[in-house]
Amino acid sequence: MEKDQLRLSDSSHIAGKSLSEIRADPEPYLTYERLEKTFPFEVLKFNPLKVPAELLEWFFFRLFCFSLFDRALECIQMLGFPENRDVDFDSFVVFAMRAGRKDAIEKLMKLHPRPEKLK
């Protein structure tokens, strides 16, 4: 009985997965709705290589909203600089300007292979 209570207290909305298992490897279970409700400490832990491709734009948006520019730069470097992500890099510049993070913009410009394409 006690074992069942423990299992119930750790149950999740995903069949066959406990909350503990999802917290240990959350990226495969991400949805837009879940990502929208993430806290800064959760977004910091996500591995961008495991985030579903269709959610990368929102993943970066969450990083930018929380002013997590250093982590965003790390994630950008991990993913490389595909041209289809340039719109995300433009958003990075806008959010960093609003936050007064000139240093973050300068780092992005140094790392980006196409800095002239950024607005």
pLDDT tens-digit series, residues 72-84: 999 988 988 777 7
Q: Give the model's pLDDT for residue 24.
A: 63
Token readout for 82 is: 């595909």
CB distance 35 to 55 below 8 Å:
yes
Give CA separation, 32 vs 5, 29, 53, in Å.
30, 10, 12
Number of helices and strands (H, E) in the chain? 8, 0
> If you write DSSP's letter for every residue of 29-42 in order, what string do you get?
G--HHHHHT--HHH
Give CA separation, 55 vs 47, 51, 60, 62, in Å.
12, 7, 9, 11
pLDDT for 88 beyond 90:
no
Residue 8 binned pLDDT confidence (cut-offs 50, 70, 90): low
Domain boundaries, the chain: 1-30, 32-117
Please state the rounded mean pLDDT for residues 52-71: 93
Please state the rounded mean pLDDT for residues 41-67: 93
